[in-house]
Chain A
Amino acid sequence: MISVSKLLCDLDAEGDGLRYDAADESTKSQIRDEKQRRPVVVWNVTKQCNLYCDHCYAAADTDIADGELSTAEGKALLDDLADYGAPVVLFSGGEPLVRQDLEELVAYANEVGVRPVLSTNGTLITEERAASLKAAGLKYAGVSVDGLPERNDDFRGLDGAFEGAVRGIENCLDAGLKTGLRYTITERNAPDLEGVVDLLTDVGVDRFCFYHLDYGGRGTEIVDADLTPEDRRAAVKRVCDMTRAYHDRGEEIETLLVGNYADAAYLVEYAREHMSEAQARRVYDYLRVNGGDPTGERVADVDYQGNVHLTQFWQGYSLGNVRDRPFGAIWEDESNPLLRQLRNREAHLKGKCADCRYAGVCRGASRLRALTTEDDLFAPDPQCYLTDDEVHGPAPFDAGTDVANPAD
């Protein structure tokens, strides 16, 4: 994830549970360093969901899958993640709140030292549930809202889903739970972006994560539902403009972009065009340390049946199953040539990405989108919206700039 508010407005958000910048941790103890190299693990605790959203990557529906991990197996998985040093577990689904043992699992994650955070549609969060999750030690809840009421409800397949999510957010905030918004940008809901942020800041939300669509999940319609690269660029520019406008007014909202590391390249270009050369350099240096697309490295997914995936969106391929082998053993097993190649992807990228001057901060963006649309794991990401002029040419800045002492 790329923090727009941090990069453009120098907002240092307090620990949000989802690691952003490894550089911040580099002076701390060795254990901390090791944790920084371990992936954030998304765990889809169930396939079951009370909604039916158009773009669901997990193909969730109203039924559970056969052989979902039980409470005991879930705890064993959390032990396994703790042993391996995973810093964060993101409880996801389906809808994680349909699991009655969610609080028990959250409490257990906390107990074994893996920071528990949650991704939810919010419509099952009653006052009681918010309070019990907080008591169990949940550190953060990300609630999905994908447009203003009409558009959101249509998309989620339930009238009142928007209001329900807002009530859920209010219940979390009242319970003292840090809560943020998840907004997946599509062609349909891109116009609502500022409206949703305005509405939810009034409710008290101050953290907004904007997700780009990745091409897993419910069929290929997903590709048609996506923005064109040009519209995506315009939407990302609006996120940047909006973030700066809020900060100029003294409202310190945190905004993040997830799922398309071409955004990293764009942010450098944006800072150069709309701010200053020095700001562009700072942005670039931070992003270089951040390291580009995290697939198969700094993010992992375990599905409801225990299959380990390269990201939560990449459900069609699994590296192995935690019922057969510990998570760490699967994740470290570079006898798997795919894993090895992905971790060394710079050597394999083709076309526009092969000689992109931003490859160091982007790393070819989504390999899953390339695979889905081009049938080629190392083809350029079809959702890269940078122009040829922008991506070609010498490195944007000399290497080795000192972030702490920028040249301005």
Chain B
Amino acid sequence: MERLDDEVDAPRGATSREWELFVSEDPAEPLTHAGSVSAPTAAVAREQASALFAHSVERLWLCPADETRRFQTAEQSLVADDAHADADATMDHEEMAAETLQGDAE
């Protein structure tokens, strides 16, 4: 367990829930991860995933990304140290409003 101590806890969805997709093309084979779809509910996620994979798979699972815990070894981490240390990289609202259309300020 110590080996898999890096938890990837950043969300995968911003505008609606995200659903991890697992599919198999051959019913005898195990499911494999095939990305994710954005959808507000499992029913809508099912519709979207079906439209994308109906042509190719025999089995399809949907797992809410926000209920999926992702662990990996530290070496697999995108960055070694705290990824969110500088999460304030964008402007705040006031600054954004103040900077907009300032291109012609002499």
Contacts of B97 in A (CB 8 A): 50
Proximity string of chain A (183-198) to chain B, C-beta cutoff 8 Å, 1 when within and 0 when not: 0000000000000000
Is A18 in contact with chain B by the CB < 8 A criterion? no
Give the complex CA separation of A253 and B66 in angstroms.
Answer: 49
Interface residues of B in 66-106 (CB under 8 A from A): 70, 72, 76-79, 81, 83-87, 89-91, 93, 96-97, 99-105
Are B78's CB and A335's CB within 8 A?
A: no
Which residue from B32, B48, B78, B84 sits with its C-beta under 8 Å from A316?
B48
Contacts of A123 in B (CB 8 A): 100-101, 103
Which residue from A125, A315, A336 sits with its C-beta under 8 Å from B103?
A125
Is B52 in contact with chain A by the CB < 8 A criterion? yes
Q: A48-B96, A323-B83 are in contact. List 18 more A-B contacts (CB 8 A).
A: A59-B14, A65-B11, A70-B89, A98-B90, A98-B91, A100-B91, A101-B86, A123-B100, A123-B101, A125-B103, A126-B102, A164-B100, A303-B14, A318-B37, A323-B10, A323-B77, A324-B76, A337-B53
Give the complex CA separation of A378 and B10 in angstroms.
Answer: 33
- Interface range, B side: 35 or more
Are B78's CB and A322's CB within 8 A?
A: yes
**How many residue pairs at the A-B interface have CB separations less than 8 Å?**
166
Interchain residue pairs with CB less than 8 A apart (6): A48-B91, A48-B96, A59-B14, A164-B100, A167-B103, A317-B37
Contacts of A323 in B (CB 8 A): 8, 10, 77-78, 83
Contacts of A100 in B (CB 8 A): 89-91
Please give the distance in Å from B77's CB to the nearest CB on chain A.
Answer: 8
Is B4 in contact with chain A by the CB < 8 A criterion? no
Q: Contact residues of B with A, CB < 8 Å?
A: 8, 10-15, 18, 23, 25, 32-39, 48, 51-53, 55-57, 70, 72, 76-79, 81, 83-87, 89-91, 93, 96-97, 99-105
Give the complex CA separation of A263 and B78 in angstroms.
Answer: 40
What are the 3 A-B residue pairs with the smallest beta carbon separation, nearest first?
Answer: A167-B103, A67-B10, A65-B14
